[in-house]
Structures are given as structure tokens and as C-alpha cells.
A and B are shown apart, each in its own frame.
Chain A
Amino acid sequence: EPEVTQTPSHQVTQMGQEVILRCVPISNHLYFYWYRQILGQKVEFLVSFYNNEISEKSEIFDDRFSVERPDGSNFTLKIRSTKLEDSAMYFCASTPGAGKRTEAFFGQGTRLTVV
């Protein structure tokens, strides 16, 4: 069964450093997303991406965050100048199309710890 894969599974970084979280969405999917979940809290939407552009972003996705699809298979989330409060599980997801009738496939997440 096709799946979304994320690397690394766990990333530890020093406050102020830059991190890149990587995702390989399902190959024929067109829409890509990042969500995050702070320990013990809800899963929160960060950003959606389609046709090499951000479709929508949440308030969490400030100017320290960026996304990119550099080579047609990978989908990355970059966080510059990391803060302690960026520590969370980050989930990548993809869907074959847009709209309310398509299920999202999630990766297993990257646990980011900022120290």
C-alpha cells in the first residue's frame, strides 16, 4: 500500500538553528500539507501546497517557516531560527485531489525537539 514517508523520525536542534523536515508524498498525489502536534495537544494545520505554491497557511506558519518541493518527489518544511515552542511532532500529508471528498494520507511524523 502506498504511504507517505518522513525523515528523520526524530530531530534535535539547538534554539536558533535551522531545520529541514523531509517528506515523500504518495507519488500521484497533487496536494501536500504539513500539520503539527505539540505534546498533549491537538493536531494543527500549518500549510497546504499545490502546483508549487502555498494554497493556504495558518497563523502558526510565520515567516520563519517555508515549504518547498525541490525535485518532484520530496516535500520539505524548513524552520529558520528555531524556538523552544517549535518542539512538536510534525506530520506531512498528501491527497490525490482537493476538496471534501478526498482522504488524506499522513506520514508517521518527525519529532522535533528544540533545546
Chain B
Amino acid sequence: NAGVMQNPRHLVRRRGQEARLRCSPMKGHSHVYWYRQLPEEGLKFMVYLQKENIIDESGMPKERFSAEFPKEGPSILRIQQVVRGDSAAYFCASSRTSGTYNEQFFGPGTRLTVL
């Protein structure tokens, strides 16, 4: 059973370009979460999605960031017009359910570097 997959593992963008990060959840998991880990900081929640629905986006910056989890295909975290402050590791997690036994499994992350 393959784990959570993320690609690319490393992504380099110049300021002003767009970054697209992909996440394929574990088989049988319909809940997807995105977290960001800035240098010297802890992981911070960004957004929680189920298929075709955004459940909670309270951690997403108001501008330039968007996320989707379509009926078919991976979840996408999109960052438009990237700035140097967007450089971070972005982790995706998935779970089978929500509730008290909501064990989240994490992917290897995408390390975004903005030049």
C-alpha cells in the first residue's frame, strides 16, 4: 500500500512565477491536509479538503494561495506570483476518516525555493 505521494520533491521558482504542488493521498483516504514548514518554525496547518470540497482553509494566506481536490486526480496546492517568503517545505497528509481516530499520514514534502 503506497504511502502519501507528493511531487515534485524539490521545486525552484523565480519571483513572480507560479508553483503547483501535487499530492496523491493513500489508497482509501478521502481527507487531505496541507501544512507548511517555514525555516526555524514548526509546521502550520493551511487547508483541509475532501473530494471536491474545501472543509477548512483558515490557515491559507488570503492572497495568491489556492487548493483543490478534484473528483479525479491529485490534490493541488497552487501559489501564484511566488515571493521569497514562500520558500518552505510543504507537506500533504491524508486520513481515512475524521473524528477521534483521525490518524494523519504525511508525504515526503515538496521543498519550494524562490529565487
Partners in one complex: no
Which residues of A does B touch, CB under 8 Å? none
Residues of B participating in the A interface, judged by any CB pair closer than 8 Å: none
